[in-house]
A and B are shown apart, each in its own frame.
Chain A
Amino acid sequence: MNHNGQLVEGVLKGDRRSIARTITLIENNPSEARKVISKLYSHTGKAQIIGITGPTGSGKSTLIERLVKELRRKGKSVGIIAVDPSSPFTGGAFLGDRIRMQKHSIDGKVFIRSMATRNSSGGLARATRDAVRVLDASGKEVAIVETVGAGQSEVDIRKIAHTVVVVLAPGLGDDIQAIKAGIMEIGDIFVVNKADRENADASVIDIETTINMSWEKKKWRPPVIKTTAAKGEGTTELLNHISLHMKYLENEGFDKQRRQDVETELAEAIKQKTTDSIIGELKRTGELEELIGKILAKKTDPYSAADTLLKERLKGFKTRT
């Protein structure tokens, strides 16, 4: 059996080493990883995926540690992908989410992986979605994804999680911050963590008011929950709400959302593949340099150049560009 075949077999058996190495492959060698993912794909779709996002220091990692504890008490196996930023200057990263979760590191039913963004924007790494698939295929019943400390526009977690929990803390901003676009729009559940601090109730009111403005009688109204994760307070209630949301999804519009996600991903895959092959070919033939020269000399522009290039290659497609 070849190396990829061994990885696939190992992942399906839940072998931790194989899971770890497959995730590395996804990070380092996307084209090789595609082959592994396509073998694992039919085994995915069973795990419940929970996204945890929110600003730096709001307590996401600590909250996850508590959630894992509760989930383990219920006998569920859990996989975690914790994302932290890469330096745009050196490419290095300091991945520190794991510190809060080390209690669970030697539990055979828990798998924790730290992941650097490697300059992908949106709050996740490019490899995160497929890494979650690996956890899913390995038999983890729950997958938790922790995003980077999210400011306002890191909303990619919406595309991969069933339930998105936005974790905030008292004193991070007033009601003006709460009505801005971005992460305030993606929460299925809002948490005010560090609720033992002053002004926690004021934060809850600000968030509730925002939800009331945007809710528009959708069937799921995001609840706002107070937790003090460091003391383990409120985490049982949070997990109950996550379960309620999952039940809601199973009854409502789940399928529609999934179809949309698959469409987006398919489009991305096509884009990636075509871009890679066309640019690759242009590089080989030296045509790329020639085109760049023409564009720089203003003899053509990037749009016309792309149209000309694709005209021949996309013959048979009736879309107008």
Chain B
Amino acid sequence: MSRKRKIRIVVAKPGLDSHDRGAKVIARAFRDAGMEVIYTGLWQTPEQIAETALQEDADVVALSILSGAHMTLFPKITELLKKKGLNEILVLGGGVIPEEDIPALKKVGIAEVFGPDTHTGKIIEFIKENTRKK
């Protein structure tokens, strides 16, 4: 390969919550870490997010949710990604997610969940270590 592959990351806000400060902060941090960030904006359906990941050929999908609907929406998104053959995408969750929900989310394919107060550097490190090598 003639040049280093850029990490392409979709940052998405699924469902009906409008709290996008966190998503914007991490999007900015990813940008500053040299990644190409595709931001979808608010109120995205699982289908919109999965299709965006496909068209953008994303390596990572970072989902931010503060509405409490993560147990419904996250599994739908990982299921749709798999259905589209996007098995190698690293899916991350963030926002307000209770500790006790995390094991179930990991079971459906969320690689890691980052709650409030997580240092952005920690997320970036996790992504760099876990993105597929192409």
**B32 interface contact, C-beta 8 A:** yes
Please judge, given known A-B contacts A17-B84, A98-B39, A114-B56, whether A29 and B1 are in contact too, CB under 8 Å.
yes
With a cutoff of 8 Å between Cβ atoms, the chain B residues found around residue A24 in the complex are 8, 57
Report yes or no: A111 in contact with B55, Cβ–Cβ below 8 A.
Answer: yes
Contact at B6–A94, with CB atoms within 8 Å?
Answer: no
Q: Which chain B residues border A29 with CB–CB below 8 Å? A: 1-3
Contact with A along B6-49 (1 / 0, CB 8 A): 10100000000000000000011011111111111100110110
Q: Is the CB of B57 within 8 A of A20?
A: yes
* B3→A28 contact, CB < 8 A: yes
Interface string of A1-20 (1 = CB under 8 A from B): 00000000000000011011
Contact between chains at A106 and B2 (CB < 8 Å)? no
B2 and A99 within 8 A (CB): no
Complex: A14 Cα to B5 Cα, angstroms: 25
Contact of A28 among B6, B39, B48, B56 (CB under 8 A): B6
| Complex Cα gap A21–B84 (Å) | 13
Contact yes or no, A99 B3, CB < 8 A: no
The answer to whether B98 has its CB under 8 Å from any CB of chain A is no
B128 → chain A, closest Cβ, in Å?
A: 13
> For the complex, is A120 an interface residue (Cβ under 8 Å from B)?
no
B48 touches A94 (CB 8 A): no
Instruction: Point out the residues of chain B lying under 8 angstroms from A86, CB to CB.
Output: 36
How many residues of chain B get a CB closer than 8 Å to chain A's CBs? 34
In the complex, the answer to whether A23 meets B57 with C-beta atoms within 8 Å is: yes
Please determine whether B36 and A113 come into contact, CB atoms closer than 8 angstroms: no
Pairwise interchain contact A87-B56, C-beta atoms closer than 8 A: no
Which residues from B are CB-within-8-Å of A16? Answer: 54-55
Of chain B, the residue at the smallest CB distance from A27 is B6
B55, A94: Cβ atoms under 8 Å?
no
A92 touches B36 (CB 8 A): yes
Question: A94 near B52 (CB under 8 angstroms)?
Answer: no
- A99 x B54 contact (CB < 8 A): no
- Looking at the complex, which one of A27, A92, A94, A106 makes contact with B39 (CB distance below 8 Å)? A94
Q: Is the CB of B31 within 8 A of A87?
A: yes
Query: Which residue of chain A lies nearest to B41 when distances are taken between CB atoms in the complex?
Result: A99
Contact of A94 with B37 in the complex, beta carbons under 8 Å: yes
Query: In the assembly, what is the distance between CA of A114 and CA of B40, in Å?
Result: 11
Give every chain B residue within 8 A of A277 (Cβ-Cβ).
none
0/1 interface trace, chain A 115-142, chain B, CB 8 Å (1 if under): 0101000000000000000000000000
Q: Is the CB of B32 within 8 A of A112?
A: no
The CA of A105 and the CA of B5, in the complex, are separated in Å by 25
Minimum distance in angstroms from A14 CB to a CB of chain B = 13
| A83 shortest CB reach to chain B, Å | 12
Contacts A28-B6, A29-B3, A95-B37 given; 12 further ones with Cβ under 8 A? A19-B55, A20-B55, A23-B57, A28-B3, A28-B134, A31-B2, A92-B33, A94-B39, A96-B39, A99-B41, A102-B52, A105-B51
Could you list 10 A-B pairs, sorted by A, with CB under 8 Å? A16-B54, A27-B6, A90-B32, A90-B33, A94-B27, A94-B28, A94-B39, A98-B40, A106-B45, A113-B55
